Amino acid sequence: MAIQQAYPIPSHAGSGPSKVITFVMKKDDLELLDELVEKFPAHMNRSDVMREMILPYVHALRAAKNGEECMKHIEEGSGLSHLRQLIQDAESDAQPVYSYSI
């Protein structure tokens, strides 16, 4: 099984101050997020999955500002790869199945 968590929550020992970020989600969006969370390993929660969605873009922006290759952060993240696959699976499941018989 591939690693689905590229951005685990860091240990706060020696890493400096941290901030908790909260926001309100619409009920429908929260239900979809919960569906995603259920498809990740049991040790991962909503915060872990949202971190996997957001941090690659934060790291890409930091790299871009430093004049470094930035797209690799978005293209190579194992968490993002897992999310992309879940979305592609959902899209495939939603497509009607056609059966042609003559």
Tens of pLDDT, residue by residue, the chain (102 residues): 455 666 666 655 556 677 788 889 999 999 999 999 999 889 989 988 898 888 888 889 999 999 999 888 888 766 788 888 888 888 888 887 666 666
| pLDDT value, residue 75 | 82
Contacts of 10 (CB under 8 A, 6+ apart): none
Q: Could you say which DSSP state residue 76 is in?
A: S
Predicted TM-score (pTM) of this structure: 0.70
Contact of 87 with 15, CB cutoff 8 Å: no
Which of 81, 80, 59, 79 shows the shortest CA–CA distance to 70?
A: 59
Domain ranges of the chain: 27-34+42-92
Amino acid making up residue 67: G
